[in-house]
Amino acid sequence: MNKDFFAHKTAVIDEGCSIGNGTKIWHFSHIMPNSTIGNQCNIGQNVVISPEVVLGNNVKIQNNVSVYTGVICDDDVFLGPSCVFTNVTNPRSGVNRRAEYSRTHVGKGATIGANATIVCGHDIGTFAFIGAGAVVTKNIPPYALVVGNPAKQIGWMSEYGHRLEFDQKDIAVCPESNETYILKEQQVYKTHLVK
């Protein structure tokens, strides 16, 4: 195992996982076998990374998050405090469903807010923004802003995390980056237009 990462002395790191350079793993977190964590990640305290989970580079996981088998997070994903993923749609204590884990893919740059729940088998699009406490029960498109239980889309977000306001030509500008976006057929795309 690569040793170019920091792990607090209370963290438990099982044999057979891969941890990238510059990653930090904090108090009481458990990294389980065959999981893969990219470079420059930050794993907060009391986090569980289950077997075969894949985290890209620069993934930020806040305290008390459970990332279960079947989850794949691309680069630059943010997982807020106490958010949770499921991996079986119909769990029963007396029924072993380990062979039935569903996959959940979180796209590059997506944010999942505090206490949100991601029901397994759904994809979170690139740069999507899941509001605090939301319960995701379906696929979320790129750049979508969703809130509530069940999560409903209420708008669109820029890559810098600002709500996008589209004009009559379906063009929006991020107030922080000045990057432009276009809304076309209920999908948002970043453009190279100069506004």
Structure confidence by residue, pLDDT tens digits, 12-35: 999 999 999 999 999 999 999 999
Per-residue pLDDT reduced to its tens digit, 166-192: 999 999 999 999 999 999 999 999 997
* CATH class of segment(s) 6-157: mainly beta
Residue-range domain boundaries for the chain:
6-157, 164-195
User: Average of pLDDT values for 57-84?
Assistant: 98
What is residue 188's three-state secondary structure? strand
Per-residue pLDDT reduced to its tens digit, 87-114: 999 999 999 998 889 999 999 999 999 9
| Residues in contact with 97: Cβ distance below 8 Å, sequence separation at least 6, in sequence order | 88, 90, 91
